[in-house]
């Protein structure tokens, strides 16, 4: 039993799709994200397994002819997540973006290589995915506090932004969550201080139960020319109709 990864293209603004092309045949392929570079190259990043092993890897492939043919999948890095206890965080799903001017590629994911606790990790490519940088730590929380469910984006000024949930404001490092943003002005080599987006820390135990407390994988980070717009889910707002707290969608803009 396999989980093939295929891509279909549309030439009529999404009204129809045709000619699905196989990118990778393997036991597991999940979380595929397509992005188009300034030169028209289509890049694809996803998580998957190799053979019958349990390890997950972050993969990359590219197409220079609109998705008709794809390069052999290349491993970016091992995906060393251990997950967050009691929280379903979408830990096996990477986030991927492309600099809209320079064409540099950026991938972020959860990884426990730093301390045995998941932290947000980044790798980038300056040569259209031929080579990738050594994975680097992005989140700034204490290494005993998990960070999870991440997004990455690049604005037209070349600033790289990464957002994520963090347990750093919970003394027990268990259920009290905030959303943070970090911005890099040097292509992801270094990042400025973490910016707290949530107005107050929220308790993830008010979220739905779905194999753990589940805010959903429903986060986003969009760039304009100068700013970044965050989208996330939290439980901090009281609900008069439900008699308690329920998850709501929140948005914020960087200054």
pLDDT digits (tens, 9 = 90+) for 44-101: 999 999 877 789 999 999 999 999 999 999 999 999 999 999 999 999 999 999 999 9
pLDDT at 13 over 80: yes
Answer whether 0.85 is exceeded by the pTM: yes
- Pairwise CA distance, residues 159 & 136, whole Å: 17
Looking at residue 78, what is its pLDDT? 97
> What number is the average pLDDT over the span 110-129?
98
pLDDT digits (tens, 9 = 90+) for 197-252: 999 999 999 988 889 999 988 899 999 999 999 999 999 876 545 555 678 999 99
Looking at residue 119, what is its pLDDT? 98
Looking at residue 244, what is its pLDDT? 57
CB 41 within 8 A of CB 62: yes
- Pairwise CA distance, residues 214 & 209, whole Å: 6
pLDDT digits (tens, 9 = 90+) for 101-116: 999 999 999 999 999 9
Q: Which of 108, 106, 207, 119 is nearest to 158 (CA)?
A: 106
């Amino acid at each position: 039993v396999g989980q093939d990864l295929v891509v279909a293209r549309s030439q009529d603004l999404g009204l129809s799709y045709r000619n699905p092309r196989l990118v990778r045949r393997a036991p597991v392929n999940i979380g595929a994200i397509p992005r188009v570079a300034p030169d028209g190259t289509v890049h694809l990043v996803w998580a998957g397994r190799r053979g019958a092993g349990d390890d997950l890897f972050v993969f990359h492939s590219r197409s220079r002819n609109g998705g008709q043919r794809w390069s052999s999948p290349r491993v970016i890095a091992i995906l060393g997540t251990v997950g967050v206890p009691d929280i379903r965080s979408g830990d096996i799903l990477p986030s991927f973006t492309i600099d809209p001017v320079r064409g540099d590629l950026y991938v972020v994911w959860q990884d426990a290589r730093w301390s045995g606790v998941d932290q947000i990790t980044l790798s980038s490519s300056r040569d259209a995915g031929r080579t990738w940088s050594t994975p680097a730590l992005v989140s700034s929380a204490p290494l005993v506090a998990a960070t999870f469910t991440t997004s990455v984006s690049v604005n037209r000024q070349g600033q790289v932004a990464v957002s994520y949930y963090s347990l750093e404001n919970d003394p027990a490092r268990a259920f009290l969550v905030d959303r943070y943003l970090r911005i890099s002005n040097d292509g992801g080599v270094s990042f400025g201080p973490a910016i707290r987006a949530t107005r107050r820390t929220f308790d993830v135990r008010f979220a739905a139960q779905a194999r753990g407390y589940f805010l959903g994988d429903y986060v986003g980070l969009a760039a304009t020319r100068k700013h970044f717009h965050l989208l996330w889910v939290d439980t901090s707002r009281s609900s008069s109709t439900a008699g308690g707290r329920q998850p709501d969608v929140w948005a914020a803009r960087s200054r």
